[in-house]
Every structure is written in C-alpha cells, then in structure tokens.
Structure 1
Amino acid sequence: MTPGQWGACCTIATPGRRPNKGRVMAKLEVGDLAPEFELPDERGRAVRLSQELEKGPVLLVFYPGDFSPVCTRQLCSYRDSYDRFAELGVNLLGISDDTIAKHRRFKEERHFPFRLLADPRREVIECYAGIGLLSGGRAHRANFLVGKDGRLAYIHVEKVSLFHRGADELYGALRRALGSPS
C-alpha cells in the first residue's frame, strides 16, 4: 500500500461517503482504510502506522490514561496475554494523551512488552476512538485492528470507560477477524 492510498488522520475518505475533515471523530468502520499517523513512543522515537504494518497486523489500544486503575488492569491483562497476540502476528500499540515521560514510567513499572504512544494533542485519539465525557474528556477505551493491507479488520469502542475488552475476549475477536483457525 502506498502512502497515497492511506486515509489521512482526520481526513477520512471512504468511497460513497464524504470526507470528514477537522477534529471531529470520523465514523470508522471495518473495511475502511486506517488513518495514517506518526506518534512518539515512550522513548521519544517516532512510530508510523504504515511502517509497523510492514511487520504484520497492528492492534491499536486507546485508553484514557496511565496508572488509572481500569487502564492498568486492562493493559496488564494484555501484557499477560501478549504471547497469544504475538502468535497471531499482531503487534500491539497502546495510545493515550499522556506524556512520553509518564508513558516511560508506566511501561517500566508494569513491564509492558509493547510500546506506548503519546498523543498529547489528541489528534489521533479523536480520529479513531474519540473523546469521552465519562472518561474526563480523555480517550474512549477502544481497540482497532489494522490488517497488513491497511484496512480496519476489527473495531470495538467502549462508551463507558469503566469497562474494557478482556484479553481472552479480545484474543478471540482478533483470531476471528484475522481468519485464524481455532
């Protein structure tokens, strides 16, 4: 997939639908091209979605914030099941509006094997997951699986930030989305 074929973040062009421009969350659907983005990880290194997809499918995990009880439980459950996600060839990226420094502390303290991306201006968050009032104006808790072809293969957005997709349930959904045998 060439860069011109990507949906640009916050300018989602889907055949048969008008592009959504601006800072309003686009209504992304399974089969849409994933909006391209580049964000720094917990070490300040740039991570570009299209480059990550060269390695295989990417699971984008949007969450309200580092060190909060529900977010910590959620990401720790994904950490504990990381080998199962890796068996599917899925690369996991956590995304919140926290700072690089806070992500670095969170990752070090909780020993996450996946990178945490900082989106302090919430541009990618708004483009994909949207902002929730019940999460204090922070990211909706959401999972987006982007296939190697750059298309969204699975989407789950929680409207109530107290809930999250458990690792077992998420693994099953990803396995089905990727067409992997049980």
Structure 2
Amino acid sequence: MAKLEVGDRAPDFELPDASGRPVRLSRELARGPVLLVFYPGDFSPVCTRQLCSYRDSYDRFASLGVTVLGISDDTIDKHRRFTEEHQFPFALLADPQREVIDAYAGTGMMSGGRAHRANFLVGQDGRLAYVFVEKVSLFHRGADELYEAVRAALEQGAQAPK
C-alpha cells in the first residue's frame, strides 16, 4: 500500500452500504466533499464510541456540505444491525475484501489485522484535502477535533472551483 497524502488523487471505489445499495465515491463527490471514516469493526467499544460521537456531531459536518461515509470490513448485515442500533445518519460501507481499506488506511497488528482508524477528506476535485491515520487502534480523532480539521481544510480550498 502506498501512503496517500494531502493533494493526492483519491482512489475511486464502489462499495455497498448497509442496505446493499452501491455507493461510488465519484458520484458522492458530485454533491460536495466526502469524509471517509475507516474503522476496525462494528460493535467494538472504541469504534462504537467513535462513530456515535460522529453521529452526534453529524449536523456540524453536514453544515459544511460534507458527506460522511464509514468503512470497515464488516458485512452488509452487520452494518445494517449496527446502523439500526445506533441510528447513524451516514452510510456504513462494507469492504470485506479490504480492497478500499488497503488503498487508503491499510491494516495493522494494533487493529487486530483490520483497518487502521483513519480519516480522509476528499474535496470535490477528487483530491485529498485532509489525511489522518491512527496506528494505535485504541485512539481515534474526536468529533470536535475532526470537525475543526475538516473545516480548516475546506477553508484552504478543498471545494471544487465554482
């Protein structure tokens, strides 16, 4: 896996959401910037806290015109149950083959061989405007800190030229 950096073109992908509907990054970008949230797995204590904090701050991200997409290697069915239990307003995408995970966040021993916790903001131009990869799975970018990083990246021009 090559390390992605701010300014790199984001690899396009298509993954199913919790209802099985295909979600393609390039289609989502037509509406605005996309925040990709990679996490090790549904229902784990840290992942649940992380995604619930993003859920609770969802309106702040939406006010910036940002679409949030969560990605792990869990199944569509597990994502559906996790979404229903916690009422996530954003899509969780299933990547059981870890192709998108490997292209972006990678996997590691500290996350039990699963996805590193990572956040990638993709601007409407398809380029990465913000990159954060946490190698220690017990930690995650807090919602307030992530919101401020996304807001700052957008102010620096992550939007497509009008």
Aligned to 2:152: 176
Q: Deviations over 1:53-77 (max 9, x none)?
A: 0010000000000000000000000
The structure whose residues are more often helix, as a share, is 2
Displacement of 1:26 after TM fit?
1.6
Q: Which residue of 2 aligns with 1:7?
A: none
Counterparts of 2:129 and 2:140, CA distance in 1: 19
Consecutive unaligned residues in structure 1, runs of 5 or more: 1-24
What corresponds to 1:84 in structure 2? 60
Q: Which amino acid aligns with 2:61?
A: F
* Higher Rg: 1
TM-score (structure 2 length as normaliser): 0.95
Q: What corresponds to 1:30 in structure 2?
A: 6
Say which of 99, 103, 127 aligns to 1:127.
103
* Per-residue Cα deviation, 1:134-169 (whole angstroms, up to 9, x for no partner): 111000000000000000000000010000000000
Paired positions, count: 156
Letter in 2 for 1:134: M
Aligned partner of residue 100 in structure 2, secondary structure: helix
CA–CA distance in structure 2, aligned partners of residues 168 and 90 of structure 1: 15
Once the two structures are superposed, residues 79-107 of structure 1 have per-residue CA deviations (whole angstroms, 9 ceiling, x without a partner) of 00000000111000000000000000000
Map 1:99-178; keep pairs closer than 5 Å. Answer: 99-178=75-154
Give the structure 2 partner of residue 20 of structure 1.
none
RMSD: 0.7
Higher strand residue share: 1
2:25 alignment counterpart: 49
Percent identical pairs in the alignment equals: 81
| C-alpha distance in 2 between matches for 1:26 and 1:54 | 26
Q: Which has the higher contact order (CA 8 A, sep 6+)?
A: 2
**In the aligned structure 2, how far is the partner of 1:68 from the partner of 1:43?**
21
Structure 2: give runs of 5+ residues left out of the alignment.
157-162
1:98 to 2:74 alignment: yes
